[in-house]
Amino acid sequence: MKPLPTLRAAQLAAAPSSAPSWLIEGLWSAQAVGIIGGEPKCCKSFLALDVAVAVASGTACLRRFPASQRGPVLLFAAEDDAIVVRQRLEGIAVVAGVDFENLDVHLITVPTLRLDRNDDRQALAATVAHLRPKLLVLDPFVRLHCIDENAAADVAPLLAYLRQLQRDLHTAVALVHHARKGAAHERGGQALRGSSEFHAWGDSNAFLRRIGGQLQLSVEHRAAPGRDWMPLALRDNPPVLEVVDQPPPPNGVQPSRRERVEKVLAEAGKPLSQKQIRNVVRVRAGDVSQALAALVAEGRVIKSGAGYQLTGPQA
């Protein structure tokens, strides 16, 4: 049998030194495929449209993350009426200081697009090849197929098709996908609905969730540091997502682990397990355990079969 071809590591092609590593700095890697995920009504589509405007105009996404590359964006919005999509894009453009009439965002206008159908795959590939977008946004995944999302054997070929599209045509791909209901306290990728293939597939992933009444954004990358628990808010007139700047503690004093645990329980408004609390506070399990033990001993927290919860009027 003929052996497989090999190369020494030094013989592999090197990326040009001038090649940007980011599409949107800190938020989406250059030519990355990935998931914009979250539970229903967590503003996933608003974030996807903000990303689209940033890339199409070269402005900062969420007025915080600079766009490192600029170019056309191709968008398929399966759940929202075209009028709604226009209104949202126009509102983001106004806030970003962008000329909406010249915004380089292109909408696919067919009523359905099925990535489990060969004809639709070929049509999408032809559209990407014609437009050569810097970014392809597909929103949401559930409207793009009739497969079983829980079956890796069904999900993997669709994600492989999008990966091949990215490699062949050098476009980033942002796939909007739902998280399971009630999974806000889980790690973003683990909260996604369906097969674990979704989380494994992404080079850059952005996860939205609500902790108590606060909308939070977490970002992870395959080859760069991520960022957790960034507070966001959906503003009115026009409706756009914005990063919420939290004032620093007075005199630079940071809240203690116990105070952070107590704050998480207050915002949750329901019992949480020790693991859920740790996922938010982001400290060692032993530190969370000690903080909870102290709060229970003081009568500030009660422990039940459902988890830990504040006592008194704050519970």
Q: Tell me: do 255 and 236 sit in the same domain.
A: no
Domains in the chain, number = 2
pLDDT(33) > 80: yes
Question: What confidence score (pLDDT) does residue 9 get?
Answer: 93
Question: What confidence score (pLDDT) does residue 12 get?
Answer: 87
Q: Tell me: do 298 and 238 sit in the same domain.
A: no
Q: Is 209 left (phi over 0), alpha (psi -120 to 50) or beta?
A: beta
| Rounded distance between C-alpha atoms, residue 303 and residue 78, angstroms | 44
Structure confidence at residue 20 as a pLDDT band (50, 70, 90): low
Long-range CB pairs of 280-288 (<8 Å, 24+ gap) are: 280/185, 280/211, 280/229, 281/257, 282/228, 282/229, 283/257, 287/257, 288/257, 288/261
CA 4, 8, 10, 11 dihedral sign is negative
235 bridge partner residues: 240
| Rounded distance between C-alpha atoms, residue 238 and residue 89, angstroms | 10
286 touches 262 (CB < 8 A): no
In sequence order, the 6+-apart residues with CB closer than 8 A to the CB of 198 are 35, 37, 155, 159, 177, 189, 192
Q: Tell me: do 180 and 70 sit in the same domain.
A: yes
81 touches 73 (CB < 8 A): no
pLDDT digits (tens, 9 = 90+) for 246-266: 655 555 556 777 888 888 888
The string over 51-77, giving b where at least 16 C-beta atoms fall within 10 Å of a residue's C-beta and e elsewhere, is: bbbbbbbbbbbbbebebbbebbbbbbb
Q: Tell me: do 63 and 207 sit in the same domain.
A: yes
DSSP 3-state percent helix, strand, coil across the chain (nearest 5):
35, 25, 40
pLDDT(106) > 80: yes
Question: Which of the 8 DSSP states describes residue 7?
Answer: -
Q: Tell me: do 226 and 289 sit in the same domain.
A: no
Q: Is residue 167 part of a domain?
A: yes
Mean of the per-residue pLDDT values of the chain: 89
| Domain CATH for 260 | 1.10.10.10
Which structural domain, as residue segments, surrounds residue 305? 251-314
| Rounded distance between C-alpha atoms, residue 221 and residue 91, angstroms | 29
68 touches 20 (CB < 8 A): yes
| Domain CATH for 120 | 3.40.50.300
The SS3 call for residue 23 is strand
238 preceded by a cis bond (ω within 30 of 0): yes
Domain-ending residue, one of 194, 209, 243: 243
- For the full predicted model, state whether its pTM sits above 0.75: yes
| Rounded distance between C-alpha atoms, residue 215 and residue 42, angstroms | 7
pLDDT(313) > 50: no
Helix intervals (H) in 65-180: 82-96, 118-131, 152-169
Q: Tell me: do 298 and 163 sit in the same domain.
A: no
Q: Stretch 268-290: mean pLDDT, rounded?
A: 82
